[in-house]
Chain A
């Protein structure tokens, strides 16, 4: 039952929530605004909020000077590649755990989760060394594999919790109606599994896009994605706020948009189903 709420109360809630929401969002808004300013206006005293000469020059300069596109392409390949590879490996595993559970299923799931807890810094040198030995240092291939491995437990877990929700009776009903195994998979299981797989995909693209330990430590120039590109602004020369903002805006925009679609799945994915 919904409780009766006075309009006045609702107005107070609204005002308070919007004020806090805008405050939290402000650094992002400020970055986006600054990216359209000239460098001079970006550090103007007092700061200019909206009434400046809007310009796109920073975006052009960032692309021209630092070859933004190359980093972007690396980010896309690494995020999509590691997620796709992870899904291909995780779907059969999660599938069999959800539909043909054995006594050890729970143990295997818990063990997979435990590999996610391994602190990256604890295995930094071995991975670094293996990468040198295998010629994977500063290669997209290497990062695709590492990011796939660090996110694999989350992918398996998410898929498992989604697959678990597919009722087994529906399969039996189909079988009674004479569906073959192939028909069962194509017409019944796949359509029911697609939403879960899509959410998993989305969340993992986001996680891989933002991963900033391995991408910073295992790349130099060739395979560096946007995380490393932005990090190169940590020791800048001269005025750079507007350019930093333009570069940052370009780096976060795709993920902000994807993220808004995935907020519900976020909870499930990041708590390993502990909070739904």
Chain B
């Protein structure tokens, strides 16, 4: 049993981490809230006073807002569909007996360790460049006209790059989940004559459902914040300006702090809605 003495020692040991994170959360958050109610233009007059909810209204009524929501939804949705679908299939494949399983695993996971600026630039230049990219060579080989990826198919291009980065994450987690499946249950169903598709649908998929939910929630949080991949490829042009990128531009490029901060508050609220679901799952797990 923990004594009174060890309890206060424990509190002391926790204090630095708790205080630091509390500061890290509260100070910037308070400042963002404060700025969001001000007309604040550091390069054009500075603090021009309180404006109430003006920034919040202007942020959502600006012509860039709805396109940014659209781009965000398409990117997040597209990447989720691709990574989860392919991740499930790939995890099922990697779970089967084969030669060189360890090496294949390493090959599949590798993209996750590539820094975002590298993967974005390599894809943009060496694969998607309309003149010298590998895709252009491939298209020409089959007699097709090379695609201007970054300008004509900007959203699919970004989805492709980001999916490549996140597929390893989904695969790895789903594979971990499959491997914890009870082999006897599968064997029993096999003996009862259940065809593979039925086995997948009624036994494997339900077993993976929690892992799939976790993958979706965690990826959503990271995908809402995709930045470097857009920064070094299109710079927000050609309809790739996501909500995060729009806020970044308002804040650092046009230095309209009030407007950007209001956008930031929206982004925080959005992320929190998703976070609540994720935390519920994680919290349940903590009780066991």
Contact B16 A21 (CB under 8 A): no
User: Is residue B64 within 8 Å, beta carbon to beta carbon, of the partner chain?
Assistant: no
User: Is residue B25 within 8 Å, beta carbon to beta carbon, of the partner chain?
Assistant: yes
Q: A121 vs B221: C-alpha distance in the bound complex, in angstroms?
A: 12
Q: For B248, B265, B275, B286, which residue has the most chain A Cβ atoms within 10 angstroms?
A: B286
User: Is residue A222 within 8 Å, beta carbon to beta carbon, of the partner chain?
Assistant: no
> In the assembled complex, which residues on chain A have CB atoms less than 8 Å from the CB atom of B21?
112, 115, 149, 152-153
Q: Which of A54-62, A126-134, A136-144 contacts B (4 or more CB under 8 A)?
A: A126-134
A71-89 CB mask vs B (1 if < 8 Å, else 0) is 0000000000000000001
Smallest Cβ distance from B245 to chain A, in angstroms? Answer: 8
Q: For A95, A100, A256, A260, which residue has the most chain B Cβ atoms within 10 angstroms?
A: A100
**Which residue of the partner chain, among B99, B114, B119, contacts A10 with CB atoms under 8 Å?**
B99
> In the assembled complex, which residues on chain B have CB atoms less than 8 Å from the CB atom of A234?
121, 124, 231-233
A204-245 CB mask vs B (1 if < 8 Å, else 0) is 001001101100110000000011101101100000110011
> In the assembled complex, which residues on chain A have CB atoms less than 8 Å from the CB atom of B25?
115, 118
Contact A274 B104 (CB under 8 A): no
Smallest Cβ distance from A11 to chain B, in angstroms? Answer: 8
Contact B110 A25 (CB under 8 A): yes
Smallest Cβ distance from B212 to chain A, in angstroms? Answer: 10
Q: Which residue of B lies closest to A111 (CB)?
A: B21
Q: A106 vs B225: C-alpha distance in the bound complex, in angstroms?
A: 27
Q: How large is the interface on B (under 10, 10 to 19, 20 to 34, 35 or more residues)?
A: 35 or more
**Which residue of the partner chain, among B20, B103, B265, contacts A89 with CB atoms under 8 Å?**
B20
User: Is residue B63 within 8 Å, beta carbon to beta carbon, of the partner chain?
Assistant: no
Q: Which residue of A lies closest to B258 (CB)?
A: A125
User: Is residue A173 within 8 Å, beta carbon to beta carbon, of the partner chain?
Assistant: no
User: Is residue B228 within 8 Å, beta carbon to beta carbon, of the partner chain?
Assistant: yes
Q: For B31, B228, B268, which residue has the most chain A Cβ atoms within 10 angstroms?
A: B228
Q: A163 vs B100: C-alpha distance in the bound complex, in angstroms?
A: 33
Q: For A117, A149, A270, which residue has the most chain B Cβ atoms within 10 angstroms?
A: A117
Chosen A-B contacts, 11 in total, with CB atoms closer than 8 Å, are A10-B96, A46-B137, A102-B7, A119-B244, A122-B271, A128-B251, A241-B125, A248-B118, A259-B110, A260-B106, A271-B173
Closest 3 CB pairs of A and B: A96-B10, A123-B28, A259-B113
Interface, chain A (partner B; CB < 8 A): 1-3, 5, 10, 13-14, 16-18, 20-22, 24-25, 27-28, 30-31, 34, 43, 45-47, 89-90, 92-93, 95-97, 99-100, 102, 106, 108-110, 112-115, 117-130, 149, 152-153, 156, 206, 209-210, 212-213, 216-217, 226-228, 230-231, 233-234, 240-241, 244-245, 248, 251-252, 255-256, 258-260, 263, 266-267, 270-276
**Extra contacts besides A119-B268, A216-B227 (20): CB < 8 Å:** A20-B93, A21-B105, A25-B108, A25-B110, A43-B132, A100-B6, A117-B278, A118-B29, A122-B29, A125-B251, A125-B252, A125-B264, A210-B115, A212-B227, A230-B117, A245-B126, A248-B118, A263-B105, A271-B282, A275-B173
Interface, chain B (partner A; CB < 8 A): 2, 6-7, 9-11, 13-14, 16-18, 20-21, 24-25, 27-29, 31-32, 35, 90, 93-94, 96-101, 103-119, 121-127, 132, 134, 137, 141, 164, 167-169, 172-173, 176-177, 180, 183-184, 187, 190, 210-211, 214, 218, 221, 224-225, 227-228, 231-233, 244, 247-248, 251-252, 257, 260-261, 264-265, 267-268, 270-272, 274-275, 278-279, 281-283, 285-287
